[in-house]
Every structure is written in C-alpha cells, then in structure tokens.
Amino acid sequence: MYFDRHSRWYGITEVAILEELLGQTAAAGEVHRLADVDWLSRVVGRLAPQVPRTTGGIRKAVTQALQAQEPTVA
C-alpha cells in the first residue's frame, strides 16, 4: 500500500494495524476522531514502534493505544 503524502510502501503488518485501528474506532462509534489530527498523531505515535506478528498481537496493540487516549477521571 502506498500513500501519496508518505512516499514509501507500507507492509502487510502496517496495513493490518490500520485496518484494526479503523475497525475498533468504528465499533466504538468514534470515527470522527480520525479527523482529529492531535488524537490520531498520539495513537499512531504509540503504534509506530509496535511490531506485532499475529492477529491477536495487532488487536492488543491497537486496543492499548486507544485505551491510552481515553480521558482519565480525576
């Protein structure tokens, strides 16, 4: 997969992470967050160093990245 704003090819793991991120965000009814540059940058920043090798690992990495973005109640 290739995006015109990022001049490099993305591997199958990166594409699977994107697919899982989109799926979990949609399932949570939070699709509008994908347009929030700050929120998306934080989530991607948490996912970028991840190298999960299994479907379960991808699911867990995305879940943890999204949970880290939830506001904490003081």
Average of per-residue pLDDT across 6-18:
86
Instruction: Tell me the β-bridge partners of 3.
Output: 6
Q: Which residues contact 68 (CB under 8 A, 6 or more apart)?
A: 42, 46
This prediction's pTM: 0.83
Decide if pLDDT at 46 tops 80: yes
pLDDT of 11: 87
Quick one: the chain helix, strand, coil %, rounded to 5? 60, 10, 30
- Run of H or E residues at 74: none
Kindly report the average pLDDT of the chain as a whole number: 88
Average of per-residue pLDDT across 45-63:
95
Percent of the chain with pLDDT over 90: 73
pLDDT of 18: 94
